[in-house]
Structure 1
Amino acid sequence: MLRFVLLCQLMAGLVFALNGYADDVHPMPLILAHRGGAFEFEENTMEGFRACYERGIRGYETDIRMTKDGVLVLLHDDSLDRTHNASGPVEEKTAAELKDVQTKKGQSFLLLEDFLAYFQDKPGVYLELEMKTSNKELYPDARIAEYCDKLYAMAKKYKPTDSDYLFTSFDERPLVAMRKLDVHWPIAIIASKPLSLEFIKRAERLQATHIACQISGTSREMVQQAQKLGYKINGWPGRKVEDYYLAIGLGLDVACTDIPTVIQQTKEDLPARDKE
């Protein structure tokens, strides 16, 4: 019954998108599993990433931080309190101190190297590696270079040749550093605001290739304008099926969602011609 309701809802969204813009049909947005599907699994865990991959999802977003002794790990918050059986920032702990830390449901704390190693033999994957460096107390300017050098080296080491790995951030500092390390590697600027001309100019200044904007308030016209300039547009947050309808209507390239397997199921239930 649930699948039938979701299918009807998604078909309604597609009718709006395709009928409203029949002369300019954009491909369906890539499903991006936000933190590995944060509303379906414990966020930033191998359980979530593995389950999504086995379900056929090929887009993933995760959050990268660095321990006191320079080890890169996956964690969204400035502290471990909400998601793990520990407290305080990982930036103030060593990798050895995190060895026995588990999530609230008993999963292992995830290192970036283990995460990337899982995808190393899985071609055709799109990864957004968000650099969580905005807190300048945890990441003063002097620490950005070390963080970026290590992240770039590890991503380059593990990335399959036919996969797309992006460095993304709200913080301009690591984006500037990454562009200096590699003029060709795709990067994305994120902001908690709709797409606008000001946002596009900011992306241009940073030599970004992608823009991650809030879906709410973003117009199809602005998305098309950015795409004509060569940018790929990611819309967020995605917390319900209706958010994916909006992503379709806006013509987004990527739809960041906390319910990736739900969206994937509704897409699979569509007639073949509607998925082209």
Structure 2
Amino acid sequence: MRLIGHRGARSEAPENTLSGFRYLRALGVRAVEFDIHLSADGELIVIHDAELSRTTSGHGLVREHSAAELAALDACHQPAHKGFAPWPKREGVPTLAQVLTELYDFTHIELELKLQHEEDEAAVVAALPAIWQRFNLSGRARCTSFNPRLLHRLQQQAPELPRGFLVEDNFAGDIVQVAQALGCDAIGPHANLLTAELVTQAHAASLWVSTWTVNDHQRALELAAMGVDGLITDTPMLAKSWLSWSA
């Protein structure tokens, strides 16, 4: 089972920052999941929330700020009352190009597309094939999303890009069936949804199974026993001690 850092190493370093990704590398982990939004000037930006206030010194929507404005924010120093540990370095919100330059030696990259506006979806789908080529992502990266419309757009306009269908723990449909209809090669169910039967069904359909967000030792062992392919965790340093893993 592959150990995958969630937003870098969300509980151990500032999430979705260059510092967080460097921290993950220092642990010896070369597998990561992170999130993508679009800036006001059309840059692909690595940040989880559509709104800035939880993880940065800024306020308002990501899509209402330019990449330069986002880079000028503080994405590492958050107040202690918000649950963030102090971090010794100040960094802004990075672009996808900056992150992929940093992750040149990573062997497994999951790019979660958080877009909800159709015009943003169209812009990102149009940009991704060139990014795949520029950063040599073939064989080591996958686009993932909770948004079936976006996955369908990728299927139609960039079918060569691997795709994964993400689902929350309240999803009541047939995950494998939807993933197959969207031409996905992977599913990413919440850990609460996973059963040995679902993993077996997915593997029978040639689907990779990664799950999130697993920060509990016992649950990690249960998922490993089911045959889950990738375990996404906020605590990669801790998780390394739980089970045999590959970077």
CA 194–237 in structure 1, closer or farther in 2 if over 3 Å, else same? farther
**Inter-partner Cα distance in structure 2 for 1:212 and 1:239:** 16
More helix by share: 1
Q: Does 1:212 align with 2:184?
A: no
Match of 1:263 in 2: 239
Q: Does 1:46 align with 2:14?
A: no
The answer (yes or no) to whether the contact 2:36–2:96 under 8 Å persists in 1 is yes
Q: Does 1:228 align with 2:200?
A: no
In the TM superposition, 1:98-117 aligns within 5 A as 98-105=70-77, 106-117=90-101
Match of 1:96 in 2: 68
Please say which of residues 46-55 and 173-182 is displaced more in the overlay. Answer: 173-182
In the TM superposition, 1:13-32 aligns within 5 A as 29-32=1-4
Alignment: residue pair count:
234
Q: How far is the alpha carbon of 1:185 from its aligned partner?
A: 2.3
The answer (yes or no) to whether the contact 1:130–1:169 under 8 Å persists in 2 is yes
In the TM superposition, 1:49-128 aligns within 5 A as 49-105=21-77, 106-120=90-104, 122=105, 125-128=107-110
Amino acid at match of 1:66: L
Unaligned runs of 5+ in 1: 1-28
Q: How far is the alpha carbon of 1:195 from its aligned partner?
A: 8.4
Q: How far is the alpha carbon of 1:197 from its aligned partner?
A: 6.9
CA 229–160 in structure 1, closer or farther in 2 if over 3 Å, else same? closer
The answer (yes or no) to whether the contact 1:130–1:167 under 8 Å persists in 2 is yes
Please say which of residues 252-261 and 186-195 is displaced more in the overlay. Answer: 186-195
SS at match of 2:101: helix
SS at match of 1:85: coil
TM-score normalised by the chain length of structure 2: 0.87
Q: Percent identity?
A: 25
**Inter-partner Cα distance in structure 1 for 2:76 and 2:140:** 31
Q: How far is the alpha carbon of 1:217 from its aligned partner?
A: 3.7
Q: How far is the alpha carbon of 1:50 from its aligned partner?
A: 1.0
SS at match of 1:216: helix
Amino acid at match of 1:183: P
Larger Rg: 1
SS at match of 2:120: helix
CA 152–89 in structure 1, closer or farther in 2 if over 3 Å, else same? farther
TM-score normalised by the chain length of structure 1: 0.78
Q: How far is the alpha carbon of 1:99 from its aligned partner?
A: 3.1
The answer (yes or no) to whether the contact 1:159–1:165 under 8 Å persists in 2 is no
Unaligned runs of 5+ in 2: 78-89
RMSD of aligned alpha carbons: 2.1
SS at match of 2:134: helix
